């Protein structure tokens, strides 16, 4: 009996995926629930397990795009699991018996080729390309048999420093993953289909530094996670979204949808590229709740376990280029959302405090927004509200000096 291997649906609105890589070979015996293939969608890479045990037959190669529900192979469940010891001994014996014949053929093959062409010579097609480029065939290293210069060698060959001769320089060409191709299309569409503008401001991070220095040990001991910057920024954003609900809106056809909740997308760098999981109903979470959710989602991204559902439905995005050393940048809106907040690195800078120059840890922040939805007053006001909350977290995010421990659940 054969069981068809069908492409599962990775989530809503996803109709096509790409065969990223087969984790088994054609003809292998696979166990039930063993991961056999990785599928790339425009959201994430997902591993697909075998539904039954048996011999697998692969019908779609790596790199091909397939539709949801399409059959990409079969598993013969009636096939018995092969005995490892008996098969291995047979496989080892056969090459030994055939070895003398293969060696004899290997000795004859080069001699025959050498009579046909000399080492380093170019094929007619390759020579034509080299002549058009003005490159001497002697300067090109051939990859064909006996050093023969192939057409591909000639295409890759480049003249050195603009002269008429030069050796080929190494390069690598490979097809972009489905995730990267879809991301590229989305980014271009944002630039072409939105009226994107960016407003900037700066934040004095000293109040947050002081709070973290005072409470971080107790916080970690109580909740098992660190008291990071992301909880402060997330709660400052949810507060500002209540004050400026237009920023928490998106266009749907001719309609404008404004959300009463804040599902905050956070950009996380993983092995498959940048992922944007969502913190659901962040306005209802405490500092500990945000930090635990950030850690949970980041771990799932880095271990390749994040799902499409965990990355859809966000209403606003926060991205932190500061972890890579970015001083200032213009973040690109995550469609169909209307705005994104960019965090950057923290640098000690001289600032005027009460008429005196002091050195403070300063972060530049940027808000990119769709001007079709958000006017200048809302965008600037929103970013100022975020700045105010971050520079006065005890009063605006925690409810006053006397309830800091309560806000941190200590």
Question: Given a cut of 90, is residue 238 above it in pLDDT?
Answer: yes
> How confident is the model over 349-371, as a mean pLDDT?
96
Q: What pLDDT does residue 98 have?
A: 47
Question: Given a cut of 70, is residue 125 above it in pLDDT?
Answer: no
Q: What pLDDT does residue 270 have?
A: 79
Low-confidence winner among 107-116, 170-179, 274-283 (lowest mean pLDDT): 107-116
Which pair of tokens denotes residue 80?
């018995």
**At 90, is the pLDDT very low, low, confident or very high (cuts 50, 70, 90)?**
very low
Which pair of tokens denotes residue 320?
């932190």
Q: What pLDDT does residue 368 have?
A: 97
Max avg pLDDT among 50-59, 74-83, 377-386: 377-386
Q: What pLDDT does residue 12 have?
A: 58
Residues annotated catalytic, as ranges: 371, 375
DSSP 149: B
Contact 313, 334 (CB under 8 A): no
Quote the percentage of the chain above a pLDDT of 70: 83
**At 365, is the pLDDT very low, low, confident or very high (cuts 50, 70, 90)?**
very high
219 closest CA partner among 292, 281, 282, 280: 292
Q: What pLDDT does residue 107 have?
A: 47
**At 185, is the pLDDT very low, low, confident or very high (cuts 50, 70, 90)?**
confident
Contact 386, 365 (CB under 8 A): yes
Q: What pLDDT does residue 159 have?
A: 57
* Span between the terminal Cα atoms of the chain, in Å: 61
Q: What pLDDT does residue 29 have?
A: 92
Place of tokens 């500061």: 322
Mean pLDDT of the chain: 83
Beta-carbon contacts of 174 under 8 Å, excluding residues fewer than 6 positions away, are none
Rounded distance between C-alpha atoms, residue 23 and residue 56, angstroms:
11
pLDDT in tens, 320-329: 999 889 999 9
Rounded distance between C-alpha atoms, residue 62 and residue 39, angstroms:
10
pLDDT in tens, 146-169: 677 887 788 888 755 444 445 556
198 closest CA partner among 326, 367, 371: 367
pLDDT in tens, 95-107: 444 444 444 444 4
Question: Given a cut of 80, is residue 367 above it in pLDDT?
Answer: yes
**155: left (phi > 0), else alpha (psi -120 to 50), else beta?**
alpha
Global confidence as pTM: 0.65
């Amino acid at each position: 009996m054969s069981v068809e291997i069908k492409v599962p649906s990775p989530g809503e609105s996803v109709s096509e995926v790409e065969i990223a890589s087969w984790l088994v070979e054609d003809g292998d015996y696979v166990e039930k629930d063993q991961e056999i293939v990785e599928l790339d969608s425009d959201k994430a890479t997902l591993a697909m397990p075998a539904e039954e045990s048996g011999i697998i037959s692969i019908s779609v190669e790596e790199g091909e795009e397939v539709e949801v529900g399409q059959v990409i192979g079969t598993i013969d469940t009636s096939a018995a699991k092969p005995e490892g010891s008996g098969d291995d001994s047979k496989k080892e014996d056969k090459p030994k018996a055939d070895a003398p014949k293969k060696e004899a053929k290997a000795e004859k093959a080069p001699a025959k080729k050498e009579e046909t062409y000399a080492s380093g010579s170019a094929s007619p097609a390759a020579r034509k390309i080299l002549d058009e480029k003005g490159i001497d065939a002697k300067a090109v290293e051939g990859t064909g048999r006996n050093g023969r210069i192939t057409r591909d060698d000639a295409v890759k060959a480049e003249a050195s420093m603009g002269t008429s001769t030069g050796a080929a320089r190494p390069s690598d060409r490979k097809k972009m993953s489905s995730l990267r191709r879809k991301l590229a299309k989305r980014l271009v569409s944002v630039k072409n289909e939105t009226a994107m503008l960016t407003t900037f401001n700066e934040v004095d991070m000293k109040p947050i530094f002081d709070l973290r220095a005072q409470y971080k040990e107790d916080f970690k001991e109580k909740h098992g996670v660190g008291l990071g910057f992301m909880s402060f920024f997330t709660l400052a954003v949810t507060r500002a979204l209540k004050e400026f609900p237009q920023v928490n809106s998106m266009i749907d056809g001719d309609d404008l949808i404004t959300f009463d909740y804040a599902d905050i997308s956070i950009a996380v760098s993983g092995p498959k590229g940048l992922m944007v999981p969502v913190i659901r109903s962040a306005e209802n979470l405490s500092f500990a709740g945000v930090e635990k959710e950030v850690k949970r989602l980041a771990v799932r991204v880095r271990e390749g376990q994040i799902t499409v559902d965990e990355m859809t439905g966000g209403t606003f995005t926060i991205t932190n280029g500061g972890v890579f050393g970015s001083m200032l940048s213009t973040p690109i809106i995550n469609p169909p959302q209307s705005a994104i907040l960019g965090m950057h690195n923290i640098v000690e800078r001289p600032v005027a405090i009460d008429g005196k120059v002091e050195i403070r840890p300063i972060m530049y922040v940027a808000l990119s927004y769709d001007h079709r939805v958000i006017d200048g007053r809302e965008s600037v006001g929103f970013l100022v509200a975020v700045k105010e909350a971050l520079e006065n977290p005890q009063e605006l995010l925690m409810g006053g000096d006397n309830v800091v421990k309560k806000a941190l659940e200590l």
